Structures are given as structure tokens and as C-alpha cells.
Amino acid sequence: MRADFAKKRILFTLLITAVLMLVLINSAAWLVKIAYPIYHEEIIFKYAGEYGVDPYLIAAIIRVESKFYHRAQSSKGARGLMQISPKTGQWAARELNIKGYDAQKLFDPDTNIRIGCWYLSVLEKEFNYNFRTVIAAYNGGSGNVNKWLQNPEYSKDGTNLDHIPFPETREYVDKVLRDYRVYVRVYR
């Protein structure tokens, strides 16, 4: 009788432990979502779909660039959620036929995310969908990345970046990739 009681007690303890583990795992996901939100999710998914880019990459870029603050502005003048420069914004507005565009519209989440998704799709095509290289180009500029790819000190094969010479861009790529992995794991 004591053996049966001991077995039942062990099974009950295992069951309670399993339930508590599930609660903790679900709580952890909830906590991670607080640290890694996706604000403007509808806009992100709309334009990510329209331009064929990964919405979780867009979320990661926004988190790193502006922490989802739509009025963010860098010391170099980049604006909004995805930190679009006025020059890139003007080019994109022409290409996308955005009527009445001015640089202030880069603070509008819809316009900013639309331009950012379009620009990312342009970079993906330019760099043959090489994820790390595309992210480096988004931050460091496609001209710089093209130079790095031609330099054997930075790229052994002319396609992949083995070393990113700008510390800011190198750190940026690492942060975006880290955040991207979290977004995929938590939201997909």
C-alpha cells in the first residue's frame, strides 16, 4: 500500500512539475514579447508581403534602428522607424510614385515602412539575397559593401563578407541578426 502511495506521489509530483514548466515556458514567451514587440504589425506585414521581404527582418531592423519610435532621428538626418535618409526617401518616393512626398513623411509609419521594405527588396536583389550582406548594405551603404566584396581582405569569394571593416556596421549586423532570430522564434 505504501509502494502504491509512493508511486502516486511521484507521478503527481511529475505532473505538477510538467504543468509548472509549461506555465514558465509560456510566461517566458510572454516576457520575451514585451522585450521584442512588433508595433505597426499590420503595416509591416502589408509592405513586407508587397515587396517580398521577411516581416521579421523588418521588425528586427526597426527594433535596432529606432526601438519602434516613429519620430526617431539620427545625427546624420535618417528618420523614422527604419531610419531612412532623406536622400533615399526622395529616390524611393520617385520610384514608388508617392504623391506629395517630403522628408517629413519619413516620420509617418506607413510611408517609412513602405520605403524601408522597398529599399530592402532592392538591396536583396543587388546582393543576391545574401542575408548578412544585405543587412550590412542597409546600414553601411551599398557602395561601401560593393567595395568590401571586391577586396580580398574583406571577402574571399566576392559574395560573402568575411569581415566588415566598419565597427558600427559590424555591430549593427550582429544586433539585427540576433533580434531577427528572436522574432522568428517567438512570433513565427
CA–CA dist 1, 92 (Å, integer): 78
Active site residues: 65
What one-letter code names the amino acid at 129? Y
Classify residue 161 by burial, with Cβ atoms within 10 Å: 0-12, 13-18, 19+: buried
Angle at Cα 60 formed by Cα 132 and Cα 36, nearest 5°?
145
- CA-CA-CA-CA torsion sign (137, 143, 145, 146): positive
CA–CA dist 3, 113 (Å, integer): 64
